[in-house]
Structure 1
Amino acid sequence: MQATTSLSPTLAMAGLLLLPLSALAADPAPGNVLTVGGGAAVVSSYSGSDKLSTMPLVAIDYAMANGFFASTMRGIGYGGQAGPLSYSLALGYRGERTDHKRNGINGYGGSDYLKGMGDVKGNASALLGMAYSPIPGVQLSVSSDIPLNNRDNGARLQFGAGGQIYSKNDSQGVPQDTVSLGVQTGWGEKKYMQTMYGVSASQASNTAFKQYTPKGGFYEAQATVSWEHRFDAKWGLTAMAGVTSLIGDARKSPIVQRKTAPVGAIYATYRY
């Protein structure tokens, strides 16, 4: 199952929810698989920012044959598959958002434009996911991110669809180059919308923003194209580019500077 949850601790970024993680999937052969990798991503400094931040991607993913996994990308949990249906349950982490610019290359999650808004604290999350493949190469998915602490951060859902549009095999019939397209939309409950896009009365008094109370609903749509190249059974390279657009009440938020922004990433992986 392709992971569609937000990336944990330093990797948490809403704009990369469709980051293709097929390079992290275990081989069909039974056994435990350790995948390590790294690269870089370019995302908005916060959802709605008009500035982009470059940040490192660090992947460490240990998938056991019995379905349990521990990963910087997927959290800690269990996943399984029954025919075309796959599922997972994991414990992860949603990163914080600060009201000041972060220093260094990991600038995601903060901006001086938000000064006076206060910080949005991170939280542990229950990550639930389910995907269905009606035909080979096509996947429909839904996943949830439910806070276990700092409950005012609110829960969110992600609905996605993706499929391969090109595949080239090597001389042994193993996929060597794969190009995929994906679309996704995000829905947030009222608490999530207020935390991420709302402006409370106290925040309005501390800033130049007008008070704003969004309703729960769809807040984001995203489209991506990804390319994965397998050098061999162990080494792989993945690149992704896309665009994210705020919709609904999120689009009308006074803290939003840019409604549509690019997103991209490139990373290499090695399987043990």
Structure 2
Amino acid sequence: MKKHPSLMLGAVCLLSAASACAAEPDGQFAVGGGIGAGPRYAGSDRNVVSPVIVLDYTHASGFFASSLRGVGYGYQAGPFTYSTALGYRGERKEKNEKALFGNNGSEELKGMGDVKGNASAIVSIGIKPLPILEFNVSADVPLSQRENGKTIHTGITAQLLDGRNDTLSLSAGAGFADSKYAQTYHGVTAQQALTSNFKAFTPKSGLYEANLMLTWQHKFSNQWSVTALAGANTLLRDASKSPLTKRKTSPAGGFYVSYLY
């Protein structure tokens, strides 16, 4: 699982793929593809369109291996859900470099140096007090490149439509960062200020973003489905004041087709 630091599409795709696989009592494999769009980096005023590849296997025991969710284990007990996984947080380049999954970086960051990708431990818990409402909390803890810092995300998802062939849901969330994450992705060190066009900036830990996403899924059959997503991500507090931030609110969205085996 490779996640763009400022793109929430993968997280929403993960929820769609997970629910699809969990719908059957036996293990299932979902395969599909499409496109996703979002800012080049958190705070960029330029967008990037990248392919989305869905490869998601879930065993009846709760084990899963996924291009979106990583490799891990999850289970559900009544209204409660829990999962833990090994994932990957994508890198950020200081130049506009073409990569397998689209352009990876921006010339606007020249002199800032590259932010290396890292392996992450991702832990998530959720509760569904009503069939149409779910609350969740997740933590992303780096296992390598620990200077990249930790994040915690909270979210709520409301099921607006649950029909035979169509589902529509609205998700809202907020992200909290430690001081290392804030400095790595939104800060400018004294050394970086000397080599770039940005002034030194030291953001504080805490709330740094909020997001909103509308997800629609249509099933053509028990196997074939199409999913479309549209939403936005807004940087808050010190992240919005960063010299790197050229646009506080950025659109995000995507479209993909999947097949369940």
Bin for the TM-score computed over the shorter chain:
over 0.9
Deviation at 1:137?
A: 1.9
1:16 pairs, out of 1, 5, 8, with 8
Contact 1:23 1:236 in 2 (8 A): no
Give the aligned partner of residue 117 of structure 2.
Answer: 122
Q: Could you tell me how far apart the structure 1 residues matched to 2:144 and 2:99 are?
A: 28
2:237 pairs, out of 233, 238, 248, with 248
Give the aligned partner of residue 139 of structure 2.
Answer: 144
Give the aligned partner of residue 4 of structure 1.
Answer: none
Deviation at 1:16?
A: 1.4
Gaps of 5+ in 1: 1-7, 170-175
| 1:260 alignment partner AA | T
2:131 aligned counterpart, secondary structure? coil
Contact 1:43 1:108 in 2 (8 A): no
Equivalent runs, 1:69-88 vs 2, <5 Å: 69-88=64-83
Contact 2:17 2:56 in 1 (8 A): no
Give the aligned partner of residue 3 of structure 1.
Answer: none
2:184 aligned counterpart, secondary structure? helix
Question: Does the C-alpha gap of structure 1 residues 252 and 24 become closer, same or farther in structure 2, counting only changes over 3 Å?
Answer: same
Identity %: 44
In the alignment, structure 1 residue 56 sits paired with structure 2 residue 51? yes
Equivalent runs, 1:1-272 vs 2, <5 Å: 8-9=1-2, 11-16=3-8, 18-20=11-13, 21-25=15-19, 26-103=21-98, 106-169=101-164, 176-272=165-261
Question: Does the C-alpha gap of structure 1 residues 77 and 14 become closer, same or farther in structure 2, counting only changes over 3 Å?
Answer: same
Range moving further from structure 2, 22-31 or 147-156? 22-31
Question: Does the C-alpha gap of structure 1 residues 104 and 12 become closer, same or farther in structure 2, counting only changes over 3 Å?
Answer: closer
Contact 2:98 2:104 in 1 (8 A): no
Question: Does the C-alpha gap of structure 1 residues 13 and 211 become closer, same or farther in structure 2, counting only changes over 3 Å?
Answer: closer
Contact 1:101 1:107 in 2 (8 A): no
Question: Does the C-alpha gap of structure 1 residues 191 and 108 become closer, same or farther in structure 2, counting only changes over 3 Å?
Answer: farther
The alignment yields a C-alpha RMSD, in angstroms, of: 1.4
1:204 aligned counterpart, secondary structure? helix
Deviation at 1:239?
A: 0.2
Count of matched residue pairs? 258
Question: Does the C-alpha gap of structure 1 residues 245 and 167 become closer, same or farther in structure 2, counting only changes over 3 Å?
Answer: same
| 1:72 alignment partner AA | S
Contact 1:38 1:57 in 2 (8 A): yes
Displaced runs of 4+ in structure 1, greater than 6 A? none
Q: Could you tell me how far apart the structure 2 residues matched to 1:29 and 1:248 are?
A: 43
Contact 2:112 2:195 in 1 (8 A): yes
2:7 aligned counterpart, secondary structure? helix
Contact 2:217 2:228 in 1 (8 A): yes
